[in-house]
Amino acid sequence: MRTNGAGAPGRIGVAIAIFEFPMLSAGYRAIIDAEPDLHVVGEVPDREALDATLAALRPDVLIAECPPLSSPGSNAFGTIEACRAGFPGTRILGLETRGGSEQFSLALKAGADGFLSRESEPVDITNAVRSVCRGQTYVSPAIVTRMVNTYVLRSPEAPLEDAYAALTDREKEVLLLAAVGHTNREIAKIFHLSEQTVHNYRANIMEKLGFHDRLELLKFAIRRGIVSVADL
């Protein structure tokens, strides 16, 4: 249910901040407005108008693009950081627009409540809006799949005695997120698990790898190529 601002009563109000791709913005508007419980309350025309637009619209959820860090003159997470600082009650969905699945971790650290990949289907978009509005963290399934394919399955030729090869697929996923600094609570929300279950996964990982703290885990993840310095 809507909690802020103007718009259709009883519907979740969504604002869109996609500056580089107007057609993408139009597509998101059409998908969201087609749902009976969702409604686009407006669009942010540019980064400079963010504060004024959000103050006027007071959306429940903001969908904010995350351009590549290499884009000339871009502050990939500036929109997210500004929204989180000025409008703490607004939930934020980061949107990958031009590659870089590693950006999801950085977007969450900047204050996003969820992250959508550019391959997101309409059902992913609407589920993401509803999830973050319920206070959950949402990560597009395509992002998790890409990360597993890129990092977890990077060394299929690893010998059986390799401790990393002894980890389950879920343990490898948890290792990746834990290494870049996610808490048990954040990991639990991403995978829809209990915090105790994540705690158990982390304990198993530490035992299998023979580590005692996150620093050792991070060093291992960098050595193995599971995490790059750019992810941190």
Is residue 73 in some structural domain? yes
Residues 163 and 204 in one domain: yes
Is residue 198 in some structural domain? yes
Residues 104 and 182 in one domain: no
Secondary structure element (H or E) that encloses residue 43, with its range: strand 38-43
Q: Do 84 and 92 contact (CB within 8 A), yes or no?
A: yes
Q: Which of 97, 118, 143 is the last residue of a domain?
A: 143
Is residue 106 in some structural domain? yes
CATH number at residue 198: 1.10.10.10
Q: Do 109 and 140 contact (CB within 8 A), yes or no?
A: no
Residues 219 and 114 in one domain: no
* Of the candidates 34, 56, 35, the residue with the CA atom closest to the CA atom of residue 43: 56
Count the domains in the chain: 2
Spell out the per-residue pLDDT of the chain, length 232, in tens.
454 455 566 899 999 999 878 888 999 999 999 999 999 999 999 889 999 999 999 999 999 988 655 444 446 578 898 999 999 999 999 998 765 555 777 788 888 999 998 888 899 999 999 999 998 888 887 777 666 665 555 555 545 446 788 888 899 889 888 888 888 998 998 888 899 999 999 999 988 888 877 878 888 888 777 776 555 5
Domain span holding position 158: 153-231
CATH number at residue 37: 3.40.50.2300
Distance CA 42, CA 3 (A): 16
Q: Which of 80, 109, 143 is the last residue of a domain?
A: 143
Tell whether pTM > 0.75: no
